[in-house]
Amino acid sequence: MKKKLKSLLKVFTAFACAISICTLTVRADDSSPVDSLTKKTSDLQNRLDNLNNQLTELSAEITDLAVKIEETDSSIAKAELDLAAAKLNEQLQYDAMKKRIKYMYESGNTSLLEILFSSESMGEFLNNTEFVRNVTEYDRNMLNDLQQIHKEISEKEQALKEEQEELAAMKEDMESRRSSLNTAISTTSGDLKASADALSKAKAAEAAAQEALKEQANHENNSSGGGGQSSGGSSDSVTVDPLPSNTGELVLFAAILECEAGSSNYDALLAVATVVMNRVASGSYPGTVTEVIYQRGQFSPTWNGSLNKVLQRGPCSLSYQVAQDALNGKRLSAVSGCYSFRASWTGYPGVIIGDNVFF
């Protein structure tokens, strides 16, 4: 029997460790750790696929934007060259006009008026008038055209620079989004791997635990002894109808018993187990072992960290034995009518078993 219990202990310890690795605590529902991990793994895979799709779309947008930025940069460079050319042309026209005026002064014609007044006939006067008008109109038109070209190029350059700034801001925003997506993908990939590994371990542990329970059940059916009596349990006990449970609930039950009653006194463990089972059967408390254990404000190990510590290292073989005996219907008759207990040092009146007083 000890060999069987030792084998069973190893399996349950592995299962408890798998639960701890998965960072899952059994709560008041019907889902097993394997079911929860399967759903979690599937959700993470869907999220990772969605993030990768977003990254692909964003990368395409960034590529298109980079092409547009390059085209805008080229347009700005061309506009700057055109502006420089217009300024140079404007300066050349201005210099030419100054030379022309200077030449007129140096040749003795101090003004265009003298050209007109020096005409010897009406025909020459009209010709000179047309000449003066053409010269001045040419200079004026050239300057106006150059100024207009200068203005248009400046406005185009300013518009292109504003567009360049907007595109640069868009690119910076997209790069920031891409960095965030890469971070999310990296984190999700790590979570997915951890979840998949934990799922694999949980499946293996659950299968091993179920196989061990089958072996234990076969051994008990073939044994000529009387249930828990063969392992040194209390003789002052009663048996009721067994309560169906899953492997995860058995692990949780064994762990809470060990937290509340230690790991060496069969009667002390069975007394706590009897209280739990009394609550399950009463109708005034939740209807499952898991729900009773996690009922708000009832069992302090569920919130002070001690339950998690026992789950991490795995309950002892005696705790598993008592939990299984209680689920199979065994009760400690001394506390068969009790629904609560406290530490015996509190002095509360009741039935003292181990370090607890039951009432």
- The pLDDT value given to residue 163: 81
Closest-CA residue to 255 (of 238, 267, 272): 272
H helices within 223-316, ranges in order? 247-261, 266-282, 289-293, 301-304, 306-313
Q: Which helix (H) or strand (E) holds 358?
A: strand 356-358
Tokens for 339?
């629904």
CA distances from 270 to 75, 212, 230, 253 (A): 86, 22, 15, 11
Residues 259, 354: contact at Cβ < 8 Å? no
Q: What is the mean pLDDT of residues 189-202?
A: 80
Beta strands 237-239 and 341-343: pairing type? unpaired
Domains in the chain: ranges and CATH: 2-30+224-358 (1.10.10.2520), 50-193 (1.10.287)
User: For residues 6, 33, 330 and 259, what is the CA-based torsion angle, rounded to 10 degrees?
Assistant: 70
- In the chain, what is the straight-line distance between the N-terminal and C-terminal CA atoms, in Å? 34
- The pLDDT value given to residue 221: 58
Percent of the chain with pLDDT over 70: 67
Residues 276, 319: contact at Cβ < 8 Å? no
Is pLDDT of 175 > 70?
yes
- The pLDDT value given to residue 119: 61
Closest-CA residue to 26 (of 251, 297, 275, 274): 251
Tokens for 149?
């070209």
Around 36, how many Cα atoms within 13 Å sit in the side-chain half-sphere? 17
Is pLDDT of 358 > 50?
yes
Tens digits of per-residue pLDDT, 249-307? 888 889 899 999 988 889 999 999 999 999 999 889 998 898 999 988 899 998 988 88
Rounded to the nearest 10 degrees, the angle between the axes of helix 247-261 and helix 317-327 is: 120
User: For residues 61, 62, 67 and 69, what is the CA-based torsion angle, rounded to 10 degrees?
Assistant: 120
Q: How confident is the model at residue 23 (pLDDT cuts 50, 70, 90)?
A: very low
Q: What is the mean pLDDT of residues 184-206?
A: 80
Q: What is the mean pLDDT of residues 232-239?
A: 55
Closest-CA residue to 89 (of 15, 159, 146): 146
Rounded CA separation 295/28 (Å)? 9
Q: What is the mean pLDDT of residues 193-216?
A: 70
Instruction: For 294-307, give the DSSP string.
Output: TSTTT-THHHHSHH
Tens digits of per-residue pLDDT, 95-147? 776 776 666 555 544 455 565 556 666 676 667 666 667 767 777 777 777 77
- The pLDDT value given to residue 21: 44
| Residues, the chain | 359
